[in-house]
């Protein structure tokens, strides 16, 4: 038995509880891990509250990412005592995840802990930070450089947004954040953003094309926000779209694409191929100012997960939420 959050669904309904979990709940995998830290991402909030159809197999341990120590391994690439990091691959959705003392995963999903980070720092980054890195890599791949002009980051006080702002600033970009929480403006500026715009400026239906401003953009919100971001991109600007915090629709026009040559780059961290995963962690080691991680993360224990998951979905939390599995 081990302690963790278990999501169950039966005739009485959907429930998430902290309880003692039987090992039989763990699925197949060739590496068993003693989890040290996990985190709360937006997707974990949806899974724990049941507000989104994230969990597709029951009972399920939520937690899409984790860092921990190998306890048992039938995989030649990992030995007992190794510290490993996991994000994505349907873990916490169809395969038991990180919000518990123990996880059993496939070795091919794991990444060795990058030397630049402690286990705690790796989870302060977690899925959200990894996704922010993939977004930055997409902007670069499509040719956006710091000399091209300002880069916009929506949901800037959230997990993906906070790490995206930090990364871009460290790489020399001029970054403008968008936030719906004026009380977090100083925080976003302390990460290095030059300006913070009010969320409402992006939430009305978008014109097909509007005054151009952004050389690049990272959007975690979707819906009208994404449409407004696209219509205000500069000629040949690039938008990395990774989130749906404001909605899954895209009520936009093709005008920015066919008149300004704007590129819309889709970002998925879950099934991201291993070579790009390893590259992204290497880039995080090099390009993220690790001293900012403390500022952009807060820590909770297993018993605090359920109430905080609700706050996360209501947009009330700042940056990244680390979960110390030992308390
Ligand atoms: P957080 O909850 O930490 O951050 C989301 C931020 O979006 C909030 O802090 C808030 O920022 C803003 N926001 C929330 N609701 C709204 C709204 N209705 N309209 C406009 N802005 C809003 O979540 P994460 O950073 O972990 O994830 C962000 C998004 O990215 C989620 O949709 C998540 O599912 C997605 N995601 C996708 C991944 C992928 O692989 N594609 C991987 C990881 C995340 P502020 O208060 O500053 O306005």
Q: Is residue 131 part of a domain?
A: yes
Residue 90 shares a structural domain with residue 146: no
Ligand 1: distance of its center to the CA of 79 in Å? 36
Identify which of 46, 129, 154, 158 to mutate to test ligand 1's pocket (most ligand atoms within 8 A of the CB): 158
Check residue 104 and give its pLDDT.
98
Residue identifier of the C-alpha nearest atom 1 of ligand 1: 158
Residue 133 shares a structural domain with residue 46: no
CA angle 317, 92, 106 (to 5 degrees): 130
Contact 31, 72 (CB under 8 A): yes
Residue identifier of the C-alpha nearest atom 39 of ligand 1: 268
Residue 154 shares a structural domain with residue 255: yes
Check residue 115 and give its pLDDT.
95
Exposed / middle / buried, residue 321 (Cβ in 10 Å: 0-12, 13-18, 19+)? buried
Residue 166 shares a structural domain with residue 106: no
161 closest CA partner among 88, 245, 64, 272: 245
Q: Is residue 190 part of a domain?
A: yes
Q: Is residue 22 part of a domain?
A: yes
Exposed / middle / buried, residue 296 (Cβ in 10 Å: 0-12, 13-18, 19+)? buried
Ligand 1: distance of its center to the CA of 54 in Å? 15
Residues with CB under 6 A from ligand 1: 41-43, 127-128, 131, 155-161, 179-181, 184, 199, 220-221, 225, 242-246, 267-270, 312, 315
Digit-coded pLDDT (tens) for 167-206? 999 999 999 999 999 999 999 999 999 999 999 999 999 9
- Which atom of ligand 1 approaches the CA of 269 most closely? 40
The CATH number covering residue 180 comes to 3.40.50.720
φ/ψ of 264, rounded to 5, equals -105, 110
Per-residue pLDDT band for 251 (boundaries 50, 70, 90) equals: very high
- Separation between Cα atoms, residue 23 and residue 158, nearest integer Å: 34
Ligand 1: distance of its center to the CA of 283 in Å? 22
Residue 15 shares a structural domain with residue 63: yes
Rounded mean pLDDT of 158-164?
Answer: 96
Residue 139 shares a structural domain with residue 200: yes
Q: Enter the pTM of the model.
A: 0.96
Residue 160 shares a structural domain with residue 256: yes
Q: Within 10 Å of residue 131's Cβ, how many Cβ atoms?
A: 29
264 closest CA partner among 307, 227, 294: 227
Check residue 165 and give its pLDDT.
98
Digit-coded pLDDT (tens) for 106-157? 999 999 999 999 999 999 999 999 999 999 999 999 999 999 999 999 999 9
Residue 255 shares a structural domain with residue 308: no
Rounded mean pLDDT of 275-304?
Answer: 95
Check residue 250 and give its pLDDT.
98
Identify how many contiguous H helices and E strands the chain contains and give both numbers. 8, 15
Q: Is residue 80 part of a domain?
A: yes
Check residue 299 and give its pLDDT.
96
Q: Is residue 288 part of a domain?
A: no
Identify which of 87, 155, 178 to mutate to test ligand 1's pocket (most ligand atoms within 8 A of the CB): 155
Digit-coded pLDDT (tens) for 228-239? 999 999 999 999
Check residue 91 and give its pLDDT.
98
- Separation between Cα atoms, residue 87 and residue 291, nearest integer Å: 22
- Separation between Cα atoms, residue 116 and residue 121, nearest integer Å: 9
The CATH number covering residue 42 comes to 3.90.180.10
What percent of the chain lies above the pLDDT cut of 70?
100
Residue 136 shares a structural domain with residue 203: yes
Ligand 1: distance of its center to the CA of 187 in Å? 16
Q: Is residue 144 part of a domain?
A: yes
Q: Is residue 274 part of a domain?
A: no
Quote the number of domains for the chain. Answer: 2
Residue identifier of the C-alpha nearest atom 19 of ligand 1: 246
Mean pLDDT, the chain, whole residue set: 97
Q: Is residue 235 part of a domain?
A: yes
Residue 150 shares a structural domain with residue 220: yes
Q: Angle, to 10 degrees, between the axis of helix 119-141 and the axis of helix 159-170?
A: 70
Residue 130 shares a structural domain with residue 262: yes
Digit-coded pLDDT (tens) for 21-72? 999 999 999 999 999 999 999 999 999 999 999 999 999 999 999 999 999 9
* Domain span holding position 80: 2-113+293-324
Residue 98 shares a structural domain with residue 23: yes
């Amino acid at each position: 038995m081990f302690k963790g959050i278990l999501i169950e669904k039966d005739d009485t309904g959907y429930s998430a509880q902290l309880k003692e979990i039987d090992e039989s709940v763990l699925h197949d995998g060739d590496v068993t891990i003693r989890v040290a830290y996990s985190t709360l991402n937006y997707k974990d909030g949806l899974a724990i509250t049941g507000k989104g159809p994230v969990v597709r197999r029951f009972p399920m341990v939520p937690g899409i990412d984790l860092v921990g120590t190998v306890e048992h391994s039938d995989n030649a690439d990992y030995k007992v005592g190794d510290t490993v990091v996991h994000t994505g691959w349907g873990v916490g959705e169809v395969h038991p995840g990180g919000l518990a003392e123990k996880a059993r995963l496939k070795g091919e999903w794991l990444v060795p802990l990058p030397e630049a980070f402690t286990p705690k720092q790796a989870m302060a980054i977690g899925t959200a930070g990894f996704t922010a890195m993939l977004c930055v890599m997409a902007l670069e791949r499509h040719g956006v450089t710091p000399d091209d002009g300002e880069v916009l980051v929506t949901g800037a006080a959230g997990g993906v947004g906070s790490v995206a702002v930090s990364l871009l600033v460290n790489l020399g970009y001029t970054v403008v954040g968008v936030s719906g929480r004026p009380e977090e403006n100083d925080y976003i500026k302390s990460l290095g953003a030059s300006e913070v715009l009010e969320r409402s400026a992006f939430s009305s239906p978008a014109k097909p094309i509007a005054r151009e401003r952004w050389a690049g953009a990272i959007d975690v919100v979707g819906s009208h926000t994404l449409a407004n971001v696209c219509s205000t991109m500069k000629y040949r600007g690039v938008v990395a779209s990774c989130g749906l915090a404001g909605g899954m629709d895209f009520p936009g026009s093709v005008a920015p694409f066919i008149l300004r040559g704007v590129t819309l780059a889709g970002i998925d961290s879950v099934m991201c191929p291993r070579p790009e995963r390893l590259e992204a962690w290497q880039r995080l080691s090099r390009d993220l100012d690790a001293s900012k991680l403390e500022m952009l993360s807060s820590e909770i224990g297993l018993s605090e997960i359920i109430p905080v998951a609700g706050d996360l979905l209501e947009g009330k939390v700042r940056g990244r939420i680390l979960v110390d599995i030992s308390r």
